Structure 1
Amino acid sequence: MEFLPPKIDAYAVSHSQQEPELLQELSRETWLKVLAPRMLSGHFQGRVLSMLSKLIAPRYILEIGTYTGYSALCLAEGMASNGELHTIDNNEELYTLQRKYFDKSGWGAQIIQHTGEALEILPKLKQSFDLVFIDADKINYPNYLEMLLPKLSKGAVILSDNVLWSGKVVAAVAEDDADTKALITYNKLLNTHPRLETVLLPIRDGLTISRVID
């Protein structure tokens, strides 16, 4: 679902920084070889992620939902020189493709892949993260938030993708639509949680920026 008129959307993209050649290559390979290539963050949102990461300059980044690694590489652009990026995905078939581009990027040694269910992996991570990007199974967004908050210090930032869910969050919700129900709950949690301040941006399918305030 497009939330902006096509001409305005195209104008915004054409007046934003171009994506690096490595990401163009990764995007092409994803569209050629991987199922559901629309899951890719893509040029415009990728530049948004890159800009936010550069402004935050995080040492420790966590990503839930790697897919082919495009968004991880965008986030790595702002990572501190001695930083680490931990990324979690449950699709082991994508591991080799992710690693190929991580190693080509120059950040390969700083990007740690975790394969499996995020709810099982998160308790094992001992770092306190400065920046988190959530782009995984929507039904577990509220669970991820609950598990993440103890790992986040004041000033940490959570980025949450697909929070408008093609407009379903403002439409009548089918009884069996667990993903939309979870996102509605999650969006309310972000907006009312006493430890967070939040702004929801209508970028692509919705991107929320939440900052830990205590």
Structure 2
Amino acid sequence: MNIVDPAIDTYLKGLAASDDTEVLLEMEALAEERGFPIIGRLCGGLLELLACSIGARRIFEMGSGFGYSAYWFSRAIGPEGEVHLTDPDPANERQALDFLGRAKLEAPIRYHVEDALAALEATEGTFDIVYCDIDKSGYRKAWDAGRARVRVGGFYVCDNMLWSGRVTGPIDDLDTEVIDDTNKAIAADEDWRSVIVPLRDGVVAALRLR
């Protein structure tokens, strides 16, 4: 199921073409070559907008790959902030540090080559944004761990929350069941105000109220 009408998606991507940089285009080409899932230009712009809207300076990513989402966060936070990236593959770390270094975005980067939840637990303090894009079976655990680490007035953001429409049912696999359960948990949490933005595969943006 296409979440966004293909004609609308093409139109929106055309508007976002002004964001072209050599590094960004390289990252997108590598993702296409490898069949590696990235959030894409439109959701990247949303991440940057959310970070700018709250003056984010400290961001933790659960699931980073070779740094595509961190590229967009780094555009927003500047040299006085920091972005924590996580991925168990050292090759992704090397590729991310190369891309982000050449992009010259100035935001300090810390890459944790380990499980995302373990890295979050081992990292002290709260964050302006916790972002999740790990294996879908871990989404509920990520929400339970991440929600406590976001400051009041900060965001919990997670990709693939509509899961190509599979959350509408019938639900007959674990990943879809976990995503649906996580959506319902976030929506029901009275300490948060949330919305699922139907860009690409659905992005939830949850604002911590208290």
Task: Give the TM bin, normalised by the shorter chain.
Answer: over 0.9
What is the CA–CA distance in structure 1 between the aligned matches of 2:130 and 2:32, rounded to whole Å? Answer: 26
Paired residue for 1:191?
Answer: 187
Deviates more, 1:123-132 or 1:20-29: 20-29
Runs of 4+ in 1 over 6 A off after TM superposition: none
Paired residue for 1:40?
Answer: 38
2:70 aligns to what SS in structure 1? helix
Paired residue for 2:123?
Answer: 125
- Aligned equivalent of 1:210, options 197, 206, 209: 206
* 1:25 partnered with 2:23: no
Counterpart mapping for 1:96-175 below 5 A: 96-107=94-105, 110-174=108-172
Aligned length: 209
What is the CA–CA distance in structure 1 between the aligned matches of 2:75 and 2:192, rounded to whole Å? Answer: 25
Paired residue for 2:9?
Answer: 9
Structure 2 contact 130–150 (Cα < 8 Å) conserved: no
Equivalent residue letter for 1:178: L
Structure 2 contact 78–105 (Cα < 8 Å) conserved: no
Structure 2 contact 130–156 (Cα < 8 Å) conserved: yes
Q: Unaligned regions of 5+ residues in structure 1, if any?
A: none
What is the CA–CA distance in structure 1 between the aligned matches of 2:18 and 2:196, rounded to whole Å? Answer: 24
What is the CA–CA distance in structure 2 between the aligned matches of 1:123 and 1:146, rounded to whole Å? Answer: 12
Paired residue for 2:87?
Answer: 89
How far apart are residue 107 of structure 1 and its match?
4.0
* TM-score, normalised via structure 2 length: 0.92
What is the CA–CA distance in structure 2 between the aligned matches of 1:146 and 1:19, rounded to whole Å? Answer: 34
How far apart are residue 150 of structure 1 and its match?
2.4
- Aligned equivalent of 1:69, options 67, 70, 88: 67
1:156 aligns to what SS in structure 2? strand
Q: Which has the higher contact order (CA 8 A, sep 6+)?
A: 2
Q: Deviations over 1:130-186 (max 9, x none)?
A: 012111111111111111222222101011100000111011111xx1111110110
Query: How large is the Cα RMSD of the aligned pairs?
Result: 1.6
1:136 aligns to what SS in structure 2? coil
Structure 1 contact 58–79 (Cα < 8 Å) conserved: yes
What is the CA–CA distance in structure 2 between the aligned matches of 1:45 and 1:57, rounded to whole Å? Answer: 18
Q: Unaligned regions of 5+ residues in structure 2, if any?
A: none
Paired residue for 1:60?
Answer: 58
What is the CA–CA distance in structure 2 between the aligned matches of 1:195 and 1:67, rounded to whole Å? Answer: 30
